[in-house]
Amino acid sequence: MLRSKLPYFGLVVLLIGAVCIVVGEVNLANVKTVQVGLQYSVWSYARNLTSGRTYGVDIASSQDWGVPFASGSFTSAQPVNATITSPEGDVTRLQAFYWGEPATGYFKMGTPPTIVEVEYLNVDDAGLTVDYFSSQIRFTVKQSGPYTVSVLQEGLWSKQPPDYILFFEMVAPNRETYTLLASGGGVVGTVGGITFIVSLFRSRDTKRRRTHR
């Protein structure tokens, strides 16, 4: 009697595990951004960041940066060289590619160019882990302390600094709870799946033996 119910038990456990994974992952993906620091019209800006947390940086273009895009002089995204210096002094180098729409109709100055892609030239693996899959500047901090973001004038088509540099933290509500739920759901689902498969094969073997008798 108990053996006959094992496949159903395994299936139920498997479904419970799947639900836990979905609930955990969906809530982890529901990330909020919290401003950490903002500075206007600077080439370089530093903020104290906390190890284990994920941050983003927004380097907003100045009005002057958009002039070549508005006039149609630039027909492709243009790279802006920048660095992220970790507390130990190691440097991550990157290029943030900006694109702005040409001036049309009422928008005589065009739209301010924004970052559409980020390419990392080298990464300080001891200080941070970058998000290669994001089209924006995103990284997880490995050391607590001051991190400095600098925009390099080298290769920049304008003499004006960015409009502002903004640090923000990416926060998932109840992250620990939902991480535990997602990982626990994986374990529960695995146990349920194994129980279901093993009990299913055993029940089939039992039926075959009874048939042969």
The b/e string for 162-191 (b: 16+ C-beta within 10 A; e otherwise) is: bbbbbbbbbebeeeeebeebbeebeebbee
143 and 128 within one domain: yes
pLDDT, average across residues 81-105? 92
pLDDT at res. 143? 95
Q: Are 124 and 130 in contact (CB under 8 A)?
A: no
134 and 39 within one domain: yes
pTM of the model: 0.68
Q: Are 178 and 23 in contact (CB under 8 A)?
A: yes
Pairing of strands 78-85, 145-151: antiparallel
pLDDT, average across residues 189-194? 51
Distance of alpha carbon 142 from alpha carbon 205, whole angstroms: 53
Q: Does pLDDT of 27 surpass 50?
A: no
pLDDT at res. 170? 86
Considering the chain, what percentage of its residues have pLDDT values greater than 70? 63
Domain housing 158 = 31-171
109 and 16 within one domain: no
Residue 120, exposed/middle/buried by CB under 10 A (0-12, 13-18, 19+)?
A: middle
136 and 201 within one domain: no
163 and 59 within one domain: yes
79 and 155 within one domain: yes
184 and 150 within one domain: no
Query: Which residue shows structure tokens 């955990």?
Result: 24
117 and 19 within one domain: no
Q: Which two tokens stand for residue 165?
A: 């540099």
Q: Does pLDDT of 212 surpass 60?
A: no
User: Hey, which residues does 151 pair with through a beta bridge?
Assistant: 82
Tell me what the pLDDT averaged over the chain comes to: 78
CATH number at residue 94: 2.60.120
Q: Which two tokens stand for residue 22?
A: 């979905």
Q: Which residue has the higher pLDDT, 165 or 181?
A: 165
Q: Which two tokens stand for residue 37?
A: 């620091």
In the chain, what is the straight-line distance between the N-terminal and C-terminal CA atoms, in Å?
Answer: 20
Q: Are 199 and 98 in contact (CB under 8 A)?
A: no
